[in-house]
């Protein structure tokens, strides 16, 4: 028994084994997500980022709109002070009709008129609960940051993630989007 800690060798070994097991589980869980995130441009404080349509390539209605709302909120809470969202009339996505890519072009024109420096857009490739006994949430998203004046892609990120059977789809999407948007966060 160690006089300073009051623990026996077996107690220390058990605690170390438990800690290593927890660390291993955490590393295994981290392996469930796949992300590729590029180097973001240096954003000056106060630069305006316009949130443009995120195109929905899934069978889930309004997945692009959901991703937009989460991304907008994460950017705002992440320190992006000047954030503008395109007018809803520029996105044709409804409950029954998928969004069209041309909506991004129209929204980019709007961003130019608003004097935004950058515009965030992207696509949702997966937004669903997997079929099966557990029904895990699965999300796949690609993002691009455009230079509004040139239309050039200056940053991109893509990723996918899945959660456990009791995880929510929006929570899984929020975690993924937080990882993808991290280079743009200022706070």
pLDDT of residue 127: 96
What would the pLDDT profile of 140-159 be if each residue is shown by its tens digit? 999 999 999 999 999 999 99
What is the rounded CA–CA span in Å between residue 144 and residue 120? Answer: 6
Alpha-carbon torsion angle 173, 117, 104, 180, nearest 10: -20
For 113-182, the DSSP string reads: HTT-SEEEEEEEEEEEEPSSSS--EEEEEEEEEEETTT--EEEEEEEEEE--TTS-HHHHHHHHHHHHHG
Res 4 pLDDT > 80: no
pLDDT of residue 130: 87
What pLDDT is stored for residue 27 in this prediction? 37
Query: What is the C-alpha to C-alpha distance for residues 73 and 80, in angstroms, rounded to an integer?
Result: 10
Mean pLDDT on 116-139? 91
Please report the pLDDT score of residue 12 as a whole number. 54
Query: Residue 141: its pLDDT value, please?
Result: 98
Cα separation, 187 vs 179, in Å, equals 14
Tens of pLDDT, residue by residue over 149-186, are 999 999 999 999 999 888 899 999 999 999 999 999 87
Residue 135 is predicted with a pLDDT of 85
pLDDT in tens, 64-93: 999 999 999 999 999 998 999 999 888 766
The span from the CA of 82 to the CA of 121, in Å, is 16
What confidence tier does 43 reach under pLDDT thresholds 50, 70, 90?
confident
pLDDT of residue 26: 42
Q: What mean pLDDT do residues 4-18 have?
A: 60
pLDDT value at 53 more than 80: yes
Which of 71, 183, 179, 168 has its CA nearest to residue 127? 168
Per-residue pLDDT of 13-40, as tens digits, reads 566 555 545 444 443 444 468 888 999 9
Backbone angles phi, psi at 59, to 5 degrees: -90, 0
Helix count and strand count (H, E) for the chain? 4, 6
CA torsion 8-9-14-18 (nearest 10°) is 110
What is the dihedral angle through the alpha carbons of 16, 20, 26, 27, rounded to the nearest 10 degrees? 150
Give the position of tokens 């996105």: 91
């Amino acid at each position: 028994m160690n006089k300073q800690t009051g623990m026996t060798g077996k107690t220390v070994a058990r605690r170390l084994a438990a800690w290593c097991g927890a660390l291993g589980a955490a590393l295994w869980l981290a392996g469930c997500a796949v992300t590729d995130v590029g180097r973001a441009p240096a954003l000056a404080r106060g630069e305006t980022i316009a949130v443009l349509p995120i195109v929905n390539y899934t069978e889930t209605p309004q997945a692009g709109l959901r991703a937009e709302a989460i991304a907008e909120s994460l950017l705002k809470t992440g320190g992006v002070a000047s954030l503008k969202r395109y007018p809803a009339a520029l996105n044709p996505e409804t409950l029954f009709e998928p969004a069209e890519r041309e909506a991004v072009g129209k929204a980019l024109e709007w961003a130019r008129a608003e004097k935004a420096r950058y515009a965030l857009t992207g696509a949702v490739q997966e937004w669903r609960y997997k079929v099966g006994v557990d029904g895990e949430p699965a999300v796949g998203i690609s993002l691009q940051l455009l230079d509004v004046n040139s239309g050039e892609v200056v940053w991109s990120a893509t990723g996918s993630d899945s959660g456990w059977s009791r995880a929510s789809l929006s929570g899984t999407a929020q975690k993924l989007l937080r990882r993808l948007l991290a280079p743009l966060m200022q706070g």
